[in-house]
Amino acid sequence: MLGGESDSGGAIHRALMGGEERVIDGFMGTILWPGSDEYLMAATAYGRVGSPSLVARPVSAADVAAAIAYARAEGLTLSVRSGGHSPMNTNDGGMVLDLSRIREVEVLDNNRVRLGSGAVWGTVAQELQPYDLAVSSGDTYTVGVGGLTLGGGIGWLVRQQGLAIDSLLSAEVVLTSGAIVTASEASEPELFWALRGGGGNFGVVTRFTFQAHPLRGVVAGTIHVQPTDLAGTLRGWRDVMRASPELLNSTVLATPEFGPEMPAQARVLVCFGGADLAEAMMAIRPLLALSGVTGDDVELKLFVEVFDEPSAPPGSIRIVDRNGFATDFDDGLIARLTTAQASFGDAVLMVRYLRGAFNRVPADATAFAHRDAEAFVSSAAFLPPDAPDEEEQRILDAWSFVAEKLTGTYGNFRLRAEPDVLSLMYPPATAARLQMAKRRYDPENVLAHNLNIVPWAHPLPPAY
Ligand SMILES: Cc1cc2nc3c(=O)[nH]c(=O)nc-3n(C[C@H](O)[C@H](O)[C@H](O)COP(=O)(O)OP(=O)(O)OC[C@H]3O[C@@H](n4cnc5c(N)ncnc54)[C@H](O)[C@@H]3O)c2cc1C
């Protein structure tokens, strides 16, 4: 068989010039071979078209173990994919392990929920709605449970619930040895620590069990602000947020002009995590009174309705992205940020307010360590594909002036494994502990196609 899809019926088959060869017993999922539309979709990561030799879609942890064993035996690069929102989840000539068929959303006792790694967060919100439950995740419908959780998860309820990992109770993990283990505070606690911010370095997670939180609805929407005084908007927004209750979550988003239909915009996005409209409006009203506000669509809605679905950037754009955490989102930082942003040309700026439950988790309790931040700042500049490298360097130089006032970086928002990423993501003590965990759980670095923590090098090297 060449091209198409095969239900494996207990084996991974290798396509050989019209024939089939049985390679591994025990795989009950689906294999996609080059040539089908579905293969192409599963082989395409966010903005990057890959050409793996096959895509394996397991239906169980045992399947995942079989697929890993196959990739190891064949010497294939292994890319793990849950929701598919990272450009790092595909490769050329290797295997994509696509968890999209492991996507159940189950409500257990005591408001615990078990989520398949391949579920997407919009579906999770939808399924939990009838139970008046929610887990803070991200802001986008189709972002996957797997990738977002393993990197941390900064979502619309971050001030009241913390990161997604702060509600994680346990995970079912397939180690590269083939062992299937449960990671929690009580079982494999070091693995559990590493999974919460250490990315896909330690094993393939098939299921996550979260403590969900009661939530009947939210008061949410967009406040439109004139884009002419971004510094003033940011200062005013910050002052309001500092005095606001933790139920109020907010992000400032400044976008450039995208053609005559979409002029440059500044927006304050809000999500009050509760269904009491009067209480919510008391918290939101000072934001509606910010200078330059031109309108809003803030209203009571279901949590699932706050999820957005921005389209993927066209492959023809070169994106220069950077981000970091602000311990103190002070006037000096705002001045640097807006000066740099103005010099970038076409660029999106996003600032998320974090103060609250996010800060109450000790820095060493999870592999995500940047717990003293007041705000998360992220910028992405858009260049034409043929822009000279000096243009990218000019943007990075301007950003370095901002970065002096920031700490760390959020790996989930980095599009490429650039040399500075790991040392920014992890303070030295966290990095050293992660490397010990890597040596223990994936000593041969089978899971290397990610923001890679290399087991054998010391000190932690830059990413490849
Ligand atoms: C439009 C958009 C909006 C976003 N919004 C937010 C947001 O609001 N908040 C936020 O925190 N992040 C956000 N992100 C970033 C997002 O968290 C990361 O891109 C994340 O990696 C996506 O997870 P995924 O499962 O969809 O990605 P995938 O591409 O499937 O996975 C990303 C990587 O994670 C690893 N991985 C995934 N699943 C597993 C698994 N089960 N076991 C082991 N390793 C695994 C792999 O290394 C893989 O390459 C956003 C990204 C995009 C593109």
Q: Is residue 437 part of a domain?
A: no
Query: Which domain range does residue 287 map to?
Result: 218-413
Q: Is residue 461 part of a domain?
A: no
Q: Is residue 305 part of a domain?
A: yes
CB 97 less than 6 A from any atom of ligand 1: no
Q: Which of residues 214, 235, 262 is at a domain's end? A: 214
**Statement to judge: residues 32 and 15 lie in one domain:** yes
Banded model confidence at residue 31, pLDDT cuts 50, 70, 90: very high
CB 86 less than 6 A from any atom of ligand 1: yes
Query: What is the reported pLDDT for 463?
Result: 43
What amino acid is encoded at 401 in this protein? F
**Statement to judge: residues 164 and 253 lie in one domain:** no
CB 413 less than 6 A from any atom of ligand 1: yes
- Residues whose CB is less than 8 angstroms from the CB of residue 259 and which lie 6 or more positions away in sequence, other chains included: none
Which residue puts its alpha carbon closest to atom 3 of ligand 1?
140
Locate 1 and state its tokens. 């068989």
Ligand 1 centre distance from Cα of residue 175 (Å): 20
Q: Is residue 46 classed exposed, middle or buried when 0-12, 13-18 and 19+ CB atoms within 10 A define those classes? A: middle
Lowest-pLDDT choice from 48-52, 143-147, 178-182, 298-302: 48-52
Query: What is the reported pLDDT for 353?
Result: 98
CB 273 less than 6 A from any atom of ligand 1: no
**Statement to judge: residues 193 and 331 lie in one domain:** no
Q: Reduce the secondary structure of 261-306 to three states and give it as a string.
A: CCCCEEEEEEEECCCCHHHHHHHHHHHHCCCCEEEECCEEECHHHH
Q: Is residue 424 part of a domain?
A: no
Which residue puts its alpha carbon closest to atom 53 of ligand 1?
85
Residue, of 463 and 415, whose pLDDT is higher = 415
pLDDT value at 64 more than 60: yes
Torsion of the alpha carbons at 293, 296, 301 and 304, rounded to the nearest 10: -80
**Statement to judge: residues 153 and 173 lie in one domain:** yes
Q: Is 135 in contact with 165 (CB distance < 8 Å)?
A: no
**Statement to judge: residues 223 and 343 lie in one domain:** yes
What amino acid is encoded at 16 in this protein? L
pLDDT value at 2 more than 50: no
pLDDT value at 464 more than 50: no
Report the CATH number that the domain containing residue 137 is assigned in CATH. Answer: 3.30.465.10
Ligand 1 atom at minimal distance to the Cα of residue 89:
49
pLDDT digits (tens, 9 = 90+) for 267-298: 999 999 999 999 999 999 999 999 999 999 99
**Statement to judge: residues 273 and 296 lie in one domain:** yes
**Statement to judge: residues 363 and 264 lie in one domain:** yes
Report the CATH number that the domain containing residue 292 is assigned in CATH. Answer: 3.40.462.20
Q: Reduce the secondary structure of the chain to three states and give it as a string.
A: CCCEEEECCCEEEEEECCEEEEEEECCCCEEEECCCHHHHHHHEECCEECECCEEEECCCHHHHHHHHHHHHHHCCCEEEECCCCCHHHCCECCEEEEHHHCCCEEECHHHEEEEECCCEHHHHHHHHHHHCEECCCCCECCCEHHHHHHHCCCCCCHHHHCCHHHHEEEEEEECCCCCEEEEECCCCHHHHHHHCCCHHHCCEEEEEEEECEECCCEEEEEEEECCCCHHHHHHHHHHHHHCCCCCEEEEEEEECCCCCCCCCEEEEEEEECCCCHHHHHHHHHHHHCCCCEEEECCEEECHHHHCECCCCCCCCCEEEEEEEEECCCCHHHHHHHHHHHHHCCCEEEEEEECCCHHHHCCCCCCCCCCCCCCEEEEEEEEECCCCCHHHHHHHHHHHHHHHCCCECCCHHHCCCCCCCHHHHHCCHHHHHHHHHHHHHHCCCCCCCCCCCCCCCCCCCCCCC
Banded model confidence at residue 106, pLDDT cuts 50, 70, 90: very high
Q: Report long-range pairs for 24-27 (Cβ below 8 Å, ≥24 apart).
A: 24/66, 24/67, 24/69, 24/70, 24/73, 25/66, 26/62, 26/63, 26/66, 27/56, 27/58, 27/63, 27/66, 27/67, 27/70
Q: Is residue 421 part of a domain?
A: no
**Statement to judge: residues 206 and 142 lie in one domain:** yes
pLDDT value at 116 more than 50: yes
Report, in angstroms and rounded to the nearest whole number, the Rg of the chain calculated over CA atoms.
Answer: 22
pLDDT value at 130 more than 90: yes
pLDDT digits (tens, 9 = 90+) for 360-396: 999 999 999 999 999 999 999 999 888 999 999 999 9
Ligand 1 centre distance from Cα of residue 198 (Å): 12
**Statement to judge: residues 97 and 111 lie in one domain:** no
CB 149 less than 6 A from any atom of ligand 1: no
The number of folded domains in the chain is: 3
pLDDT value at 16 more than 50: no
Ligand 1 centre distance from Cα of residue 200 (Å): 10
Biggest CA pair distance of the chain: 70
Q: If you average pLDDT over residues 94-109, what whole number do you get? A: 97
Query: What is the reported pLDDT for 21?
Result: 52
Report the CATH number that the domain containing residue 49 is assigned in CATH. Answer: 3.30.43.10
Q: Is residue 444 part of a domain?
A: no
Query: What is the reported pLDDT for 257?
Result: 85
pLDDT digits (tens, 9 = 90+) for 197-244: 999 999 999 999 999 999 999 999 999 999 999 999 999 999 999 999
Query: What is the reported pLDDT for 313?
Result: 65
What sign does the dihedral 149-190-419-99 (CA atoms) show?
negative
**Statement to judge: residues 273 and 330 lie in one domain:** yes
Query: What is the reported pLDDT for 346?
Result: 87
Lowest-pLDDT choice from 12-21, 25-34, 126-135, 256-265: 12-21
Query: What is the reported pLDDT for 385?
Result: 85
| The total number of residues written for the chain in this structure | 464
Q: Is the peptide bond before 130 cis (omega within 30 degrees of 0)?
A: no
pLDDT digits (tens, 9 = 90+) for 392-446: 999 999 999 999 999 999 999 998 888 789 999 999 999 999 999 999 999 999 9
Ligand 1 centre distance from Cα of residue 307 (Å): 15
Q: Which of residues 161, 183, 214 is at a domain's end? A: 214
User: Whole-structure pTM over 0.85, yes or no?
Assistant: yes
Query: What is the reported pLDDT for 18?
Result: 45
Ligand 1 centre distance from Cα of residue 147 (Å): 3
Locate 174 and state its tokens. 């397939």
Average pLDDT, rounded, for the chain: 92
Banded model confidence at residue 23, pLDDT cuts 50, 70, 90: low
Query: What is the reported pLDDT for 268?
Result: 98
pLDDT value at 448 more than 70: yes
Banded model confidence at residue 315, pLDDT cuts 50, 70, 90: low
**Statement to judge: residues 34 and 181 lie in one domain:** no
CB 205 less than 6 A from any atom of ligand 1: yes
Query: What is the reported pLDDT for 19?
Result: 46
Locate 385 and state its tokens. 């594909």
Shortest CA distance to 272 belongs to which of 246, 291, 294?
246
**Statement to judge: residues 112 and 81 lie in one domain:** no
Pocket test for ligand 1, best of 412, 446, 451 (most atoms within 8 A of CB): 412
Q: For the chain, give the percent of residues with pLDDT over 90.
A: 82
Q: Which of residues 214, 229, 262 is at a domain's end? A: 214
CB 385 less than 6 A from any atom of ligand 1: no
Q: Is residue 449 part of a domain?
A: no
Query: Which residue matches tokens 């050409």?
Result: 51
